[in-house]
Chains A and B, each alone.
Chain A
Amino acid sequence: MPAQNPDIVALYQSLCGQQDTLSAAIQTTTDPKLAGTIATEIQEIAHRIVLVQNLLFGAESPELTAAVRGVNAASENLTMAIARRQQVTGFLNSVSAYLTCVDSAIDLAKTLAAAA
C-alpha cells in the first residue's frame, strides 16, 4: 500500500524540528519581548503543521521536491538565526523567509492534491 508523500513528510519534519527548537529557545529566554516574539512564531509554525498534516498522503511531483529543497535551505538559516535570537531583526527575517518557502510548498501541495 502506498505510504505518506516523502516530500510532505520532509516538510512536516522540518516544521516540527523548528517548532522543537523554538520551544526549547523560549524556555531559556528571560526577555519578555523576545519571548513574545518567539511565542508568535511558534503559533505561526503550529498553523502550518496542521495544514501539512492534512496533506501527508498527497501526490508527489518534482516541483514539490524542489520546493521542499528550498524549505530545507531556509530551515538551515533559521536554525542559525534561532541560535543568535538576541539579534531580533535577523531572527525575524529568517523566520519570515522560512515561512514564505513553507507557504509556497504548501500551496503547491494543495494544488497537486486538488488536481489528483
Chain B
Amino acid sequence: MDQTPNAAADARRRTRTDHCFGKIRLLTSADTLPAEILTRRGLRLRQAALVGMLGLGLALLSGCKTMDATAVANFATAVTAVKSQADDSLNAAAALTRDDSIVYAASQPTLAETNFVVTPTGEVIAEWDGAFSALESYAQNLATLLSPAARQDFDAAATNLFNQFNQAASQLKLNGINSQAGVSALLATAFTETAGAIMQAKQQATAVKLASATDTNIAAICSLFANEIGDDRRTVPGLRRTVYEAVWAPRLASLTVPFLTTNSAAKVVICQQYADMLARRDAEDQILAGLRRSILALSDAHHALAQGKPASIQADLAVVSAEIQHTQGLYSQISNLTRK
C-alpha cells in the first residue's frame, strides 16, 4: 500500500512532495528563524504559513493518485503545525500565570522567590517541545520510508528512528529529574516503548506497518498531552481549569471592591472591564481547547494512517487546520481586547 507500481511515478511523487513541503522545513528551522519569530506575532505568522501549506497539501490529497505518500507528508506537516500551536498556547498560558504571580508576590509581606509560580513551567514547555520534535522527526521519516528506493535503507532508517525516540526518552528522563511535574517520566516511558515497537516492526519493512506498530504509543503520548490540557475548564484537572481558577477568578474578583466604592459613571467603566475580561477568559480557554482538539485529531490521523485509511486522515488533518486557523482568530480577538 505504501509502494507505487513504478519508480517513475514514485520519483514524480517525491518531487512534488519535496516541492510542497520544502518551505515548511525552512520555516521551522531554528537556524533561519528571525528574532521576531519568538514573539507571539512572529509565531502567528509561522502558524499561518503552516496552515496554508497544510491546506494546500489537503487540497492535493483530494485528487491525488499517490494518496498514501501525500497523506503521510500531510501528517508530518500537521505535526509541525501543532508543535507550533502548542508552543504558542503553552507560552500564552505561562505568561498569564506569570503576570498573576507578580500581583500575588506584590501582595505578600516579604519578597520571596517562592511567591513567583508559573504554569506550565519552563520544564514542561521544554518537555512538550522535545516530544513534538521527536514526533515531527518520526512523521518526516515515515514519509521518506514510503519510497520503494527506501526499501533497502529501511533497516537503517528504522534504526535511526529508534535512536531518535530513545534520545527523546533520555532527555525526558533528564527533565524528570529537574521537574516536579512528573509528566516527563510518563512521556519517557511512552517514547521508550515506541522505540521498541519501531525495532520490532523493522522486520516488516513498510511505513504503514511501522505506523501500526507505534500507533498505541503515539495515541498514549497524545492522550497524555490532552490530559495535561484538560477537556473542560470547570471540572477536570488540567491547564484549562487552572487558568480559569487561578488567573481569571482573582482578576474578576479584583474589580468588585472598585465597583462597590465608586459612582455610577465609573461603574460603567468597571463593567466594561469586567465584560472584556470575560471575553478574554473565554478566548484564552478556547486557545487551549483548540490545542487539545488538534492533538487528538493528530492522534486520530495517525491511527487512520496505521489502518491505511487516507480519507480519514484527510478529515482529521482538516480538523487540525481548522483549529489552527480558529486559534489565529482568537489571538486577534485577544489583541483587540488588550489594546482597549
Please give the residue numbers on chain A whose beta carbons come within 8 Å of chain B beta carbons, in ascending order.
1-5, 9, 12-13, 15-16, 19-20, 22-23, 26-27, 29-32, 35-36, 38-40, 42-43, 45-47, 49-51, 53-59, 110, 113-114, 116
Contact = CB atoms under 8 A, between A and B. Distances in A.
B263 interface: no
Contacts of B182: 5, 55-59, 113, 116
Contacts, number: 118
B312 interface: no
Given A46-B104, A46-B249, 20 more contacts: A1-B189, A23-B253, A31-B260, A32-B261, A35-B257, A35-B260, A38-B256, A46-B100, A46-B247, A47-B115, A47-B117, A49-B242, A50-B117, A50-B242, A54-B119, A54-B120, A55-B181, A55-B182, A57-B182, A58-B181
Contacts of B119: 50, 53-54
A15 B104 CA distance: 17
Contacts of A32: 257, 260-261
Contacts of A110: 180
Given A32-B261, A43-B104, A54 B253 contact: no
Pick the most buried of B121, B238, B256: most chain A CB atoms within 10 A of its CB. Answer: B256
Interface residues of B, number: 42
A47 B256 contact: no
B40 interface: no
Nearest to B124: A54
Contact of B181 (A42, A47, A56): A56
B117 A1 contact: no
Nearest to A44: B104
A23 B186 contact: no
Given A55-B180, A56-B237, A43 B103 contact: yes
A40 B256 CA distance: 11
B90 interface: no
Contacts of A40: 107
B118 interface: yes
Given A46-B246, A54-B181, A13 B260 contact: no
Contacts of B17: none
A26 B252 CA distance: 10
Contacts of A116: 182, 185
A114 B227 contact: no
Given A9-B237, A53-B242, A42 B253 contact: yes
Contacts of B241: 16
Contacts of A58: 180-182
